[in-house]
Amino acid sequence: MTQQKNIIRTSFMLLLIILQQTAIKAQQTVVDSSVLDRITELEKQVSYKKSGEEHFLVVGVATMGFAAYKTTNTIGGIASTSKTNSFPDADNFEFSPMLLWRHGSKFLMEFEPSFNNNGLSVNWADVSYFAAPGLIIRAGYFVLPFGTYAKREAAGWIDKLATDPMGIADMTPTDYGVEVEGGLPLGNMKMNYDLALTNGNQLNPDGTLTNGNIVDNNNNKTVTGRLGLLPFSNSSLEIGVSGMFGKVGDQGALVQNTSGNLYAFDLNYVKTLSPILLNIKSQYNIQNIGNVNYLNPADSSTYTFNNHTSSFFAQCSIRPVGAEGFLKNLELAGRYTTFNTPSNSTFGANQHSVTIGLDYWLNWRSVFKITYDSYTNNSTASKNLGAFTGTTNINTFYLQFSIQL
């Protein structure tokens, strides 16, 4: 009997041990399954967001300041003078955040809205594909490769002076289209190229041009291209030539066969001549529009003129980078600009300006500028159209701060 009880007790204990081990294993299985699920989910996230595959960045530029103007207009021997000032300087205030989104290693999306001149606009919005070393393909709304100022040097934290050179940026459109750009080595030299196909400029009733239209006004497209050469091995000098060719008239209208041919020549030289950093920039633009008849808004008669426009600027700046303390952050800049629009039109003028400035660099992307600009406009507009305005002189003093965000 005692032996039977011992057998039953032993069997019961073995059964308890077996049940306990089964429960432990079941619990471990549940825990292991939960952990495995979490590990699997993390692996999916890591696989989806690989380093370098996705990247979003917000940068941009902000410019603000003060401007005081003294304007003297002389017509028929009678002069009138006025003084105004602006704070902030509405003509040069700008806040432009740039949104950059890189998708993988090949695609980059750019979008830059801008609040300036009391209005909201878009500077550019495009997608770039890095097809190969030295080859970028771009599509969307972008600055055309005409000269270098508008595309490379116009930002407030890059420009040495508080104003843009007259006519230079105005003759460089932003338009819808496709673009191919890149660079190639040429032994000790280098070259870069930039070619775009876009909707093109459109001729206004007064003979001026407008651009940036998503719908073209004719069946022709505009080709714009720039070729740059860096002849020295240290890349201190770049010289470039640009062209823009296309129809500008409305399809089916009087000026449908009118062409717009534009040319630009640019130079950029940067060299350290110890202890001075020397920077020389220059650009010359030419714009020719085919001869057409324009309507006189006063009596609906027609008139014509030689629609030729030219603009030019030369700028030099020096900075004592080899000095110590306060002096090494100072930069002195000067610029001469001319802008000649067609005579006997409604907007004809021979214009020139002399601009000087002193900059203080807080760091490489933040600058405080003091600029003085003397501008003269001698009207060559048609007296028959009532557009002649005599001579205008404007002297302007600027205080400006600009920063790349």
The predicted model gives 276-290 an average pLDDT of 96
234's tokens: 């240290």
- The label of the residue with tokens 């003759």 reads 171
Instruction: Specify the CATH number for the domain of residue 399.
Output: 2.40.160.10
Q: What does the pLDDT look like over 52-87, one tens digit per residue?
A: 566 889 999 999 999 999 999 999 889 999 999 988
User: For residue range 123-150, what is the model confidence (pLDDT) as tens digits?
Assistant: 999 999 999 999 999 999 999 999 999 9
Residue 41 lies in a domain: no
| 26: in domain | no
pLDDT at 256: 56
Number of domains in the chain: 1
Q: Quick one: residue 19, left, alpha or beta (phi over 0 = left, psi -120 to 50 = alpha)?
A: alpha
Instruction: Kindly report which listed range (79-93, 145-159, 249-263, 366-380) carries the lowest average pLDDT score.
Output: 249-263
Give the chain's radius of gyration (CA, Å).
33
Q: Does 184 fall in a domain? A: yes
d(CA 21, CA 205): 94
pLDDT of residue 296: 82
Could you tell me the residue range of the domain that residue 71 belongs to? 50-404
Domain assignment present for residue 123? The answer is yes
Q: Is residue 170 part of a domain?
A: yes
- Tell me what the mean pLDDT of segment 348-373 comes to: 97
- Evaluate if pTM is beyond 0.85: no
Contact 277, 319 (CB under 8 A): yes
Residue 347 belongs to some domain of the structure: yes
pLDDT above 90 covers a percentage of the chain that reads 64
So what's the pLDDT on residue 26?
Answer: 47
The 10s digit of each residue's pLDDT in 192-215 is 999 999 999 888 888 898 887 778
242 found inside a domain = yes
Residue 88 has a pLDDT of: 82
pLDDT digits (tens, 9 = 90+) for 230-254: 999 999 999 999 999 998 877 555 5
- Is residue 33 domain-resident? no
- Coil, helix or strand at residue 72: strand
For 173-190, write each residue's pLDDT tens digit. Answer: 899 999 999 999 999 999
Residue 35 has pLDDT above 50, yes or no: yes
For residue 161, the SS3 value is coil
**Which tens digit of pLDDT belongs to each residue from 37-55?**
665 665 555 555 555 566 8
Residue 29 in this model has a pLDDT that exceeds 50: no
The one-letter amino acid at 165: P
